[in-house]
Amino acid sequence: MRRLFRKGDRVQSKLDGKVMEVLKYFKKNLVEVKWFDLKSKEVHTNKVKEDKLSKAA
């Protein structure tokens, strides 16, 4: 498994530009990420493929 990111790294979604934080890795290049939603003021978690993410500045 190629791990491009480490736990706690800030990553950016290539699809919608959201900045997220890496929580943990799963098999098949899945990454669990969390982000803060400004509208609902809640923290959301989701599983995203590693290919859809890039390093955030």
- 2-50 residue pLDDT tens: 788 999 999 999 999 999 999 999 888 899 999 999 999 999 999 999 9
pLDDT at 1 over 90: no
> Rounded to whole angstroms, how far apart are CA atoms 53 and 43?
19
Is there a domain that residue 3 lies in? no
Is there a domain that residue 5 lies in? no
pTM to 2 decimals? 0.82
Distance of CA 16 to the CA centre of its chain: 12
Position 27 scores a pLDDT of: 82
Is there a domain that residue 4 lies in? no
Q: Which residue has the tokens 């990454």?
A: 31
Is there a domain that residue 48 lies in? yes
The residue among 32, 34, 29 whose CA lies nearest residue 44 is 34
Counted domains in the chain = 1
Is there a domain that residue 36 lies in? yes
